[in-house]
């Protein structure tokens, strides 16, 4: 049984075809890098897999079951999407890292939070830091660890290193490698040449079509 399967997926918006008959099988533990020209449909593909958008036609299967047959919250806990522009809320880093526990009706574990801050080179004092004081790279790191406090089965990364300095990119690349070693399946969209060169498996989305 295929872990994740896209069967003839198309997506239209305002009469314009953004993705056209995309078929893709993804094995568990795979690390796919997706690139291509701007406006070609890369981010749309990730958003469809994340269930943030609904295909105009075709079907997405997760563990052999249709995506729409899953309860929305259940699916999003297993297939987690990271935005290019991280969306933080509340006042502090703690507010953001508490969310994954709240939606699972679990008691927040600050020890686990601090361990994850350490994974992205942020000191423990950052737990109570106001999000308005964070740099762009720090915001992205907090958003990423919020997504992996409870490791999803699939992690979708939408240009998460765009605009970041090289030091922050190195920290995020290290984190992604750690996640992959825990058998998490990763699909990343990127324009970054170093990420494209290092790709284990490279897919190109161009003009709404998928090329391998």
Kindly tell me if the per-residue pLDDT of 132 is higher than 90.
yes
Tokens of 64: 């052999």
Q: In the chain, what percentage of residues exceed pLDDT 90? A: 94
Q: Say which DSSP state 69 is in.
A: G
Nearest to 34 by CA among 159, 155, 152, 154: 159
58-101: pLDDT as tens digits: 999 999 999 999 999 999 999 999 998 889 999 999 999 999 99
Domain that holds residue 183: 4-211
The domain total for the chain is: 1
Q: What is the phi/psi pair of residue 211, to 5°?
A: -125, 140
Output helix, strand, coil percentages for the chain, rounded to the nearest 5: 35, 30, 35
Q: How far apart are CA 185 and CA 30, in angstroms?
A: 5
The reported pLDDT for the residue numbered 58 is 98
pTM of the model: 0.95
What the block records as the tokens of 175 is 């984190």
The domain that holds 206 is classified in CATH as 3.40.50.300
pLDDT, tens digit, for every residue of 29-56? 999 999 999 989 999 999 999 999 999 9
Give the count of beta carbons closer than 10 Å to the beta carbon of residue 204: 16
């Amino acid at each position: 049984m295929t872990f994740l399967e896209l069967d003839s997926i198309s997506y239209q918006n305002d009469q314009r075809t953004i993705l056209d008959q995309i078929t893709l099988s993804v094995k568990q533990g795979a690390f796919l890098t997706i690139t291509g020209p701007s406006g070609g449909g890369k981010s749309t593909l990730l958003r469809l897999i994340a269930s943030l958008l609904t295909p105009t036609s075709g079907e997405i299967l997760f563990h052999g079951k249709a995506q729409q047959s899953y309860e929305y919250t259940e699916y999003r806990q297993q297939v987690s999407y990271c935005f290019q522009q991280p969306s933080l809320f509340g006042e502090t880093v703690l507010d953001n890292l508490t969310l994954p526990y709240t939606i699972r009706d679990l008691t927040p574990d600050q020890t686990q939070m601090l361990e994850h801050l350490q994974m992205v080179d942020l000191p423990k004092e950052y737990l109570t830091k106001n999000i308005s004081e964070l740099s762009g790279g720090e915001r992205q790191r907090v958003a990423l660890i919020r997504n992996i406090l409870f490791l999803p089965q699939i992690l979708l990364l939408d240009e998460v290193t765009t605009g970041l300095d090289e030091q922050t990119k190195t920290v995020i690349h290290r984190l992604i490698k750690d996640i992959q070693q825990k058998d998490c399946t990763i699909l990343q969209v990127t324009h970054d040449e170093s990420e494209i060169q290092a790709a284990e498996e490279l897919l190109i989305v161009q003009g709404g079509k998928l090329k391998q």
